[in-house]
Amino acid sequence: MEPLEWAKFVVRSRSDADYPAALSVLSSKAEHGDPDAECYLGLLYARGQAVARDFRLARSWLERSVGHGNTDAMYFLGKIYVRGYGVDADSKKAAELFEIPADSGDPRAMYALGLLYLDGNGVGRDLKKTYCLMLDAADLGHIEAQFVLGQLYKTGAGTEKDMDQAIRWLSRAARNGHKGSQIVLGDMYSTGDGVEKDPDESCRWYDMAEGSVTSDR
C-alpha cells in the first residue's frame, strides 16, 4: 500500500500504535501541498491522535485542504463550525461548507446539512430540503438519515405522511442497529400508533433495543 493511503487508513481505523508513523507521512505530504494529507493531518489534530489536540492547527490544515478543493475537508471543517470546537459556532459557515460535498454525493454532508435545515440553524428552516437531503443520504445507507427520514414520513414533515414508508425506513435503520428507531417502532406497535397493535412485534423491537448502543444524531 502506498504510504499516504496507509497513513489515511491508520487515521480511519484509529490504530493507536501506528499513529506516530502515520503522522510523519502525513506531515511530509501536507507540507508539499497534498490535499488528502492536509485533510488527514487536520483530523489528527482535531482528534488528538499522535499529537496534542489542537483545533487551531486542525482548522489551519483543513482550511488548506478546502482551498485545494478537498470535499472531505469541507465536511470535517463544517463539523468543527457546527460544534464550535476551538472556535465560535457558526452554522451558516458550516452550511456553506457542507453544500459542495452534499452535492457531490457525500451522505455525511447530506445528513449534516439536512439537520441544519430541519432546525433552521444558519439557514432558513426548510423541511422540504431536509426531506430531500435525508432521502438521498438514506438511500446511500446513512443510518441516522434513515431514522430521520422515517420520522419525517411518520409526521408528514417536509413530505406527505406515509406510514408504510415510515415503517420501511425506521425498520431499515433499526435493523442496522439504530436504538432510537428500535424504540420508536416498539412504541408504535405497543400503542397502535399508525400501525395495528402487535405486542409481539413491539417486544421484538424493544428486545433489540436492549442490545443496541445508543446513537446520537
Q: Judging by beta carbons within 10 Å of its beta carbon (0-12, 13-18, 19+), is residue 195 exposed, middle or buried? A: middle
143/15: higher pLDDT: 143
The pLDDT, as a whole number, for residue 207 is: 95
pTM of the model: 0.91
- pLDDT tens, 92-141? 999 999 999 999 999 999 999 999 999 999 999 999 999 999 999 999 99
Copy the grid coordinates of residue 23: 503522522
Report long-range pairs for 37-43 (Cβ below 8 Å, ≥24 apart).
Answer: 37/4, 37/7, 38/62, 38/64, 38/65, 38/68, 38/70, 38/73, 39/65, 39/70, 39/72, 39/73, 39/76, 40/7, 40/8, 40/11, 42/73, 42/76, 42/77, 43/11, 43/76
The pLDDT, as a whole number, for residue 158 is: 97
d(CA 136, CA 40): 26
Report CA 187 to chain centroid distance, whole Å: 26
The pLDDT, as a whole number, for residue 12 is: 92
154 touches 171 (CB < 8 A) = no
The pLDDT, as a whole number, for residue 214 is: 45
d(CA 129, CA 142): 17
d(CA 177, CA 144): 10
The pLDDT, as a whole number, for residue 215 is: 42
- pLDDT tens, 171-216? 999 999 999 999 999 999 999 999 999 999 999 999 999 986 444 4
- pLDDT tens, 67-88? 999 999 999 999 999 999 999 9
**Reported confidence tier of residue 151, pLDDT bands at 50, 70, 90:** very high
